[in-house]
């Protein structure tokens, strides 16, 4: 199979028929063998009924329906496990991503040898304050920490080699950082393509301040996991050892100073009355805790496999 098109959605029943017809037209005109994998992320409208209806006339349609809303990352993760196409293309269901971009994205992967091609919505039709400015902050921070020179990490329109989507674990709000996850998994040939961005035709945006905050927190997480995800002791153990040594030598200095003053019969105070004693003691306690955190992290990494973070209610043609 040439292409798997993965479409996560939440309450998008109005756009599904038009989106399906547009994709089918592009696929047929280019003679691609394909599948369309819809992931209903706990919609409260008739999105799943619409998907089921569409599947009766197109055997290429497949679907996953979550028990409740788990988020876009979990939707993508579930779909990636089911995708069979040589090239996997993700896009949003709100018609802001154009299916006409699919043939060129497919060519870049299949002929140019890219592992991943990320769309860049150079000209956007979103609110500048509500979405454009936060997106620019996200992208600037992601470029700085990841080393990937992409302009639009959060663009839903992306193309991947099949082995890329099988190698990444997407959770939390990590969907916007899939290129970083792919790079960390060893896929270095990552490109970018300017794509058309269309104004939303149906429904309302799902973007809010909670996603803005969670996105930055996930960026910190992914930066930490990139460097220390498989060796937490290298960070916590090192910090713990340094802090403990600092506290130990500080307490040693306080004790030696006390003994010298007693020997010379100079006036002195109780060690427990010296504020530096408590600073030294705190450093030793914190150092021990940091070291233990690294040790526990190593144990956790070697324990049980990661649990599934979503519950699938129904499957369609899978």
- Mean pLDDT for each 10-residue chunk of the chain (318 residues)? 96 94 96 97 95 95 95 94 96 94 97 95 66 72 84 92 94 85 91 87 64 70 72 87 94 90 87 89 94 85 66 86
Q: Give Cα separations from 278 to 158, 260, 267, 271, 284 (angstroms).
A: 55, 20, 21, 9, 10
pLDDT for 313 equals 86
As a three-state string, the secondary structure of 271-304 is HHHCHHHHHHHHHHHHHHHHHHHHHHHHHHHCCC
- Please report, for residues 170, 176, 244, 249, 261, the alpha-carbon distance to residue 279 in angstroms, rounded to integers and kept in the order given: 42, 42, 11, 12, 21
pLDDT computed for residue 113 by the predictor: 92
- Which of 192, 281, 187, 185 is CA-nearest to residue 226? 185
pLDDT at 295: 86
State pTM to two decimals: 0.75
């Amino acid at each position: 199979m040439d292409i798997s098109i993965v479409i996560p959605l939440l309450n998008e029943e109005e756009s599904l028929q038009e989106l399906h017809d547009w994709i089918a037209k592009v696929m047929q005109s280019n003679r691609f063998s394909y599948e369309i994998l819809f992931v209903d992320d706990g919609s409260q409208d008739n999105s799943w009924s619409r998907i089921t209806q569409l599947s009766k006339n197109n055997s290429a349609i497949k679907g996953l329906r979550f028990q409740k809303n788990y988020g876009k990352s979990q939707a993508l993760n579930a779909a990636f496990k089911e995708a069979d196409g040589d090239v996997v293309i993700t896009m949003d269901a709100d018609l802001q991503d154009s299916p006409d971009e699919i043939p060129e994205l497919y060519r870049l992967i299949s002929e140019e040898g890219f592992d991943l091609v990320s769309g860049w919505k150079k000209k956007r039709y979103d609110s500048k304050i509500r979405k454009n400015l936060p997106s620019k902050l996200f992208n600037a921070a992601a470029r700085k920490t990841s080393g990937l020179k992409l302009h639009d990490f959060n663009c839903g329109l992306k193309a991947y080699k099949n082995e890329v989507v099988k190698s990444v674990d997407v959770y939390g709000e990590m969907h916007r950082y899939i290129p970083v996850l792919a790079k960390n998994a060893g896929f270095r040939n990552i490109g970018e393509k300017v794509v058309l961005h269309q104004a939303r035709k149906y429904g309302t945006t799902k973007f809010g301040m909670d996603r803005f905050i969670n996105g930055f927190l996930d960026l910190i997480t992914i930066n930490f996991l990139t460097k220390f995800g498989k060796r937490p002791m290298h960070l916590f153990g090192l910090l713990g050892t340094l802090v403990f040594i600092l506290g130990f030598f500080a307490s040693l200095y306080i004790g030696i100073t006390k003994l010298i003053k007693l020997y010379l019969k100079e006036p002195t105070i109780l060690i427990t009355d010296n504020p530096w004693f408590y600073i030294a003691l705190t450093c030793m306690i914190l150092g021990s805790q940091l070291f233990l955190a690294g040790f526990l992290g190593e144990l956790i990494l070697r324990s049980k496999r990661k649990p599934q973070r979503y519950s699938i209610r129904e499957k369609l043609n899978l």
